[in-house]
Amino acid sequence: MLFNFDNSYARELEGFYAPIEGANAPSPTMLAFNEELAADLRLNARALNSLEGARILSGSLTPEGAQPLAMAYAGHQFGGFSPQLGDGRALLLGELIDTSGQRRDLHLKGSGRTPFSRGGDGKAVVGPVLREYLIGEAMHALGVPTTRALAAVATGEDVLREGPQPGAVLARIASSHLRVGTFQFFAARGEEERVKQLADYAIARHYPELLGAQTPYVGLLRAVMAAQAKLIAKWMGVGFVHGVMNTDNMTISGETIDYGPCAFIDAYSPKAVFSSIDQFGRYAFASQPAIANWNLARLAECLLGLIDKDDDEALRIATNTLAEFMPLYEAEWLAVMRAKLGLSTAENGDKALIEKLLSAMHTGRADFTQTFRALTTDGDVRALFAAEPEGYDNWRAAFEKRLRSEPLSPEQRAANMALVNPVYTPRNHMVEQALSAATEGNMEAFEALLAVVKSPFEHKPEYAHYAEPAPAGSAPYRTFCGT
């Protein structure tokens, strides 16, 4: 038997999904396979990285023990509520218990139509599937909680997008696929009992310390808030823009999910937006904490009936709890940014000091990743400021003053900083090159880039060009979703 599935979602949450098998792919072949993750999941990598494995991980063959299903969920997309989304091109194959005893979902994306497909074809194509693979692995290596790819399988079928594109399926691993939108699906229908069932399932799976608590549902809200505060702070620390922070793309576990029109910023700008459909910059880089807060308010609304029987009291408790998010986030963000600057102590002026640097970087169009790495290695930081480098000089003087109260030696500081300031992030132009070659059938650039982003903190002279931003004069980077 290839998998030792347990199917708690199927077993405990009947009515929360539609049982469905994957579509048959004409000629499944493995494009990429994550040996390391397979080992974490106690899977037999050699047996799975095979034709049989490609058939299973494309959804063409249902393995023994699996209970495939499409999950129901709703969601606010760009602020507007869709009461029915759900897995329109995905299915949950089953759950695996990994080497550390954690339950993880094995989920296929692009495996064919489901009762939630609406007008969609249920398919996915090579470029976006490999993008999700690559960015997920990069985020994991950067220490950011994330879903991860177990495999990308080419289906051997053309899928119609702007033109014909080679089809593919992503086999994805997640702590779970519970989303804010999963709660919204049932709350919007007034199915209070099901919201409770879902909350109890989420607590047992992700926050078991709340089992038996006096106020488990406020506890759940608080736990998700804490996980999201940590997550978003980490995004902000690596310059990551998710691009579609809809409530259906926000997990209860606190993992990053659904890499569509996402990107890493190069020249620093708080307004950075890459998604072609985000016309108003709702999901811009610096807006992400506020959007997380907004999404959490939507989760809180779903839980109101469980928080207190008295509506006013429930609202009062939820409002007070939600008010903890921004301070919580700010504390996480400060910790992330202090570490990036090698500050081992906390002082009142630190927030202003960090903001001063970011503001000089914005004016100077300084590359986000390179600036922090140059600060780490005592490189020529000033040269990274294309405009008004005096802004950097001013900051530097203030920073030197701040360093006087730091107990660590410069060597210790640099060593700590080297563990949190990457040399390599998936540079947008490199990602695009790798994905277009892969779409043409050449996986070399993808494999090379994947190897680079899997060791982001380790400087290697032969990888120098991976650390460079796009050449000056390149067109602004644009990403697309729903593909």
Residues assigned a catalytic role = 248
Structure tokens at 451: 């190897």
Contact segment (CB under 6 A) with ligand AMP among 83-91, 96-104, 228-236, 310-318 equals 83-91
| Beta carbons of 360 and 374 less than 8 angstroms apart | no
Question: Least distance to ligand AMP from the beta carbon of 14, Å?
Answer: 21
Structure tokens at 139: 């985020």
Helices (H) and strands (E) in the chain, counts: 17, 12
Question: Least distance to ligand AMP from the beta carbon of 82, Å?
Answer: 8
**Cβ-based neighbour number of residue 314 at 10 Å:** 20
- Residue keyed to tokens 């903190």: 457
Interacting partner of 86 out of Mg ion, ligand AMP, none (Cβ under 5 to 8 A depending on kind): ligand AMP
Cβ neighbors of 279 (< 8 A, separation 6 or more) are none
Tell which one of 28, 127, 254, 260 touches ligand AMP (CB under 6 A): 260
d(CA 1, CA 70): 23
Helix or strand (DSSP H, E) at 438: helix 428-439
Q: Choose among 270, 232, 246, 249: nearest CA to 144.
A: 232
| Beta carbons of 109 and 90 less than 8 angstroms apart | yes
Does residue 455 interact with ligand AMP by CB under 6 A?
no
Question: Least distance to Mg ion from the beta carbon of 387, Å?
Answer: 38
Does residue 122 interact with ligand AMP by CB under 6 A?
yes
CB closer to ligand AMP, 116 vs 240: 116
Quick one: CA dihedral 342, 348, 353, 355, positive or negative?
A: positive
Does residue 479 interact with ligand AMP by CB under 6 A?
no
Tell which one of 22, 28, 86, 219 touches ligand AMP (CB under 6 A): 86
CB closer to ligand AMP, 121 vs 191: 121
Cβ neighbors of 323 (< 8 A, separation 6 or more) are none
Question: Least distance to ligand AMP from the beta carbon of 81, Å?
Answer: 13
CB closer to ligand AMP, 90 vs 231: 90
Contact segment (CB under 5 A) with Mg ion among 13-21, 56-64, 109-117, 252-260 equals 252-260
Tell which one of 105, 132, 137, 258 touches Mg ion (CB under 5 A): 258
Tell which one of 40, 258, 266, 332 touches ligand AMP (CB under 6 A): 258
Tell which one of 29, 44, 88, 297 touches ligand AMP (CB under 6 A): 88
CB closer to ligand AMP, 136 vs 456: 136
Compute φ and ψ for 189, nearest 5 degrees.
-90, 5
Binding to Mg ion, residues 220-249 (CB under 5 A): 249
Tell which one of 89, 206, 234, 298 touches ligand AMP (CB under 6 A): 89
Burial of 168 (0-12, 13-18, 19+ CB in 10 A): buried
Return the bridge partners of 108, or none.
Answer: 91, 171
Positions in the binding site for ligand AMP (CB under 6 A): 85-90, 116-117, 120-123, 244, 249, 258, 260, 481-482
Positions in the binding site for Mg ion (CB under 5 A): 249, 258
